[in-house]
A and B are shown apart, each in its own frame.
Chain A
Amino acid sequence: MAVEVTPGTGSTRATTARELSGLDALEQHVGGDPSWASRLWSGLWPKVAAVSIALALWQVVVWSGWRPSYALPGPGQVFPELGRQLLEPGFWEAIATTMRRAAVGFGVATVIGLVVGVATARIGRLRVAIGSLITGLQTMPSIAWFPLAILLFQLSESAMYFVVVLGAAPSIANGVITGVDYVPPLLQRVGRNLGAGGLQLYRFVIMPASLPSIVGGLKQGWAFAWRSLMAGELLVVIAATPSIGLRLDTARQLNQAESLISWMIVILVIGILVDVVFDRANTAIRRRWGVVDA
C-alpha cells in the first residue's frame, strides 16, 4: 500500500480521513426515538379529553333547563341528527359546494397574495405606498365588505369571492413580506456568490427561505377566507345551490335546532381539519430545517 507520508507531522491523507471520521462520529447524536404508538397516544389523549369536557359542559347546560330543548337540544339529540344527515346525498352536496367556493376563493387569494407580497417586499416605493394599507385591510372585518359586494355583483358567487379574496389575500401577502424581510443576509450573499441574481435569487434562495412565514400567512389567510365564506353564504342567499351556509339558514328558519347545531359542528370540523393540514406542513418544514427536534 502506498502511503503518502508527510514528514514532520507524521500525518497522512489516510490518517487525516480517519481523524475526520472519528471527530464526525463523536459529534453524532446518540439516543432512540419514542415509538409511533406512544407518540400517537400522547398526541391523541389531550384532544379526546378536551372534546369530552366540552360535551359534558354542553350536556350540563341542557340539563339545567336554561333553555327549552327545542331551542337548545343536547348532544343526545344533535349527534343522531348529524348521523342521519351523513347518509343524505344533499348533505355532501352542500359541503361540496361550500368547499369548492372555499378552494377557488382561497386559491385566487393565494395567487394575488403571493404576487402582491413579492412585489411589495421587492419594490421599496410600492412598500411605502401600500405596505400599511395591506395591514389595514387585514383588520377590516370582512362582513363590512358585503353590502358593497352585493351592490357590485348582486346575489352571486362573485360577491362571495370578492369578499373571500379581500379577507384572505392581505394575510398571505403579509406572510410573504415578513418572510422575505427575515431571510438571513448571509444566505443571500452566498446565493449571489454562487451566481444567482435577480429572479434566480428569489427562486433558489429567498422564496425557500421565506417558506415558514409564507405557510404561516396561508394558514391565517385560510382562517379569514373560511370566516368570510360562512358570512357570505348566510348573507348572499343563492337558493338554487344548497351550501353549508344555506342549510344553516334554512334550519334556523324552520326552527330545526338539532340540524342547525349539527351544521355548526360540520363547520367547526372542516375548519379544524384544514388547520391540521397547515400545522402538518409547518411542522414538516420546521423539522427539516432543524428548528425543532422531533
Chain B
Amino acid sequence: MSVEQLPSQGSAPVGASAAGVGATAVALRGVSKVYGRGPTAVLAVDRLDLEVRRGEFVCLVGASGCGKSTLLSMVSGLEPVTAGQVVVDGGHRPAQMFQEAALFPWLTVRGNVELALRLRGVARRDREPEARELLATVHLSDFADTRPHQLSGGMRQRVALARTLAQQTPVLLMDEPFGALDAMTRDVLHDEIERIWRERELTVLFVTHNVREAARLGDRIVLLSSRPGRVVEQYPVDIPRPRRIDSPEVARLSATITDRLRQEVRRHGR
C-alpha cells in the first residue's frame, strides 16, 4: 500500500491559508485494482490518473461497475491498491462517508461524534464541547442525546457528516452519501454540504451515480468507464454558485454527461 505524504506540504491544519489553494490535495498515479487471482481475476480499476486540487469539489460519476467506490476506499486506505500510487495531502487517510450512515447503534448521536474525536486523540474534557459544536454545524443540537434508530435517514446522514468532520481531515471522501434519501431532503443537504465545504475550505471527492447531483455540487465532474474503471472524460462545471438542481444550466450539462455515459454503457452491450 502506498498512501504517503506530499513532501512539501506537511500536515497543514484544515483551511490554514489561501496559499495552498491550487496545490494538489489528492493524486492518483497509475492506480490499478485487481480483485481475485488467476484466470478469474477482475480488473476493477485500470491505470487511473487523477489530481484533485486543494479546496476543489470533484464529483466522480459512472455506471455500475466503474469502481467509483473502490476508488474512494483506495484513497482512504481501506482498500490496498494493486499497483500505482495514492498520495494524500497531510499524510493521514481522509475521512470517508458512505451511502448508509453506519452510526454505532449502541452510542447516542453525541457518543458517535465523541468516539471519532476520541480516536483522533482529543482530550476527554474537550470532546463534549467539540461534539456539540459539530452537531450545531449540521443543525442537530437538539438531538445530541437521541439514539440513531430514532432519527430519519437524512438526520442520520447528517450525524455521519458531523462524525466525519470530527476527524478533521482536509480531504473528505463521500460515497453516494445522499443516494438513499428523498429528493426534498437531498436538495436541502446539497445546500448544507456546499456551505460546510466552503466554510471549512475542504477538498471533497464525491461519488454519485446521479449526474444532476454531480452538476449541482461539483467544480469538476470526472466520468469513469466501467470494467475496468478509467477516466473517460472530465467536465469543468462553470455554472455560478449557488446552483439549483432544477436549473436549466444544470439540466443542460447533465444531459451532455448522461449522453456520454450512455454511450459508455452501450459499449458493454451486444
Contacts and interface: CB of A to CB of B under 8 A. Distances in A.
Interface of A: 6-9, 11, 13, 16-17, 19-21, 23-24, 27, 29, 184, 186-187, 189-190, 192-196, 200, 204-205, 208-209, 211, 285, 288-290
Contacts of A190: 98, 102, 104
B262 interface: no
Contacts of A288: 105-106, 147
A46 to B, nearest CB: 28
Given A9-B242, A195-B120, A289 B115 contact: no
Contacts of B140: 24
Interface stretch (B5-13, B51-59, B183-191, B200-208): B183-191
Contact of A209 (B96, B106, B115, B240): B106
Interface stretch (B14-22, B35-43, B150-158, B229-237): B150-158
Interface string B96-118: 10101010111000000001100
Nearest to B199: A13
B98 A16 contact: no
Contacts of A192: 78
B32 interface: no
Given A192-B78, A288-B106, 12 more contacts: A7-B242, A8-B240, A8-B247, A11-B242, A16-B188, A23-B152, A23-B154, A24-B155, A187-B104, A189-B78, A189-B98, A194-B163
Nearest to A200: B119
Nearest to B149: A290
Contacts of B102: 184, 186-187, 189-190
Contacts of B78: 189, 192-193
Given A187-B102, A208-B106, A196 B192 contact: no
Nearest to A21: B139
